[in-house]
Amino acid sequence: MFRLAHLTDPHVGPLARPRLRQLLSKRVTGYANWRRGRSRSHDMAVLSALVADLRAQAPDHIACTGDLCNIGLPSEWETARGFLAELGAPESVSFVPGNHDAYVRGSLEGLLDACGPFTSDDDGRTRAFPYLRRRGPLALIGLSSAIPTKPFVASGRLGPAQLAAAETMLRMLAQEQERPCRVVMIHHPPQPGGAAAGRELKDAREFTALIGRTGAELILHGHNHVGSVGFMPGPDGAGVPIVGGPSASARVGSHDGVHGGHDGMPGRRAAYYLYAFTREGGRHAITGLRRGLDGDGTVTDLGPLALTQG
């Protein structure tokens, strides 16, 4: 058995006070939003408790699907690197960026300079997407949907080159004699309608068509700050599970209740997901477990994930 932990959208703080010149961009609205409420929605004590529980579970690998940063300040890059290092060594932690990591032009490049080892592929290349990491029975495919956008827009895009490279990679893996379990990591929900207008993946239809041709065994994402499970058609007609995680730092509060998720899952309270992979004959069996805050703010077992249709 191989176990993979997935967490997302930690929005690591605290956020240092920006210099005036750093606010002469989209950051001014983001900083105002942070001061008005986001700083209270994302609780670093909650994040620390969640990470401590995750480490106690001793997974074989950890996937983090973006939004380490808040408004892409240079001061956030080292904080982000420190957070990933707290999760584990770069060989044991895989990271893909989110829209807050690419908040303004230059933000993503600065973050990847600091956190590049957590995005390195098996050949040692960093800052190149998609990347491929083989860990146990898994082939982890890291995609970047992070692009700078205008104020009040949080959309993402993969682009033709990355889509083509991902298709080549997924096809290659599918043709191996002992086919690995292909786990795709992306920040934005990758299916059409997966996020509201202005927050969506712009080339979700192209990505869906890609998976329809190549397949995958599991797709992990963040962005919505809500736990969700969906399915995307694969080439054999079976649904490929798409799992979105809530923010790893979302505190218990009136707007973070347990009834806001999909498929009866807890909504916006902090949680992470723990997957177990076993090989059964010629296929990979995947089970998922949710761990996160209960109503009292204690990190506990929240029950299984439903990873099959019907």
Please report, rounded to a whole number, the percentage of residues in the chain having pLDDT higher than 90.
76
Residue 15 pLDDT: 73
pLDDT tens track for 240-298: 999 999 999 998 763 443 333 444 444 679 999 999 999 887 789 999 999 999 988 89
User: Which residue ranges form the domains of the chain, and what is each CATH number?
Assistant: 2-13+44-305 (3.60.21.10)
pLDDT tens track for 119-136: 999 999 988 999 999 999
Specify the residue for token string 């805050």. 293
Q: Which of 231, 239, 221, 227 is nearest to 304 (CA)?
A: 227
Query: Of 23-27, 175-179, 199-203, where does the model show the most confidence?
Result: 199-203
> Is the Cα torsion angle 46, 51, 56, 61 positive or negative in sign?
positive
Residue 261 pLDDT: 44
Evaluate if residue 231 carries a pLDDT over 60.
Answer: yes
The average confidence (pLDDT) of the chain is 90
Evaluate if residue 19 carries a pLDDT over 80.
Answer: no
pLDDT tens track for 85-118: 999 999 999 999 999 999 989 999 999 999 999 9
Residues 6+ apart with CB under 8 A from 237: none
- The interaxial angle of helices 44-57 and 74-87, nearest 10 deg, is 30
Residue 163 pLDDT: 98
Residue 22 pLDDT: 61
Evaluate if residue 75 carries a pLDDT over 70.
Answer: yes
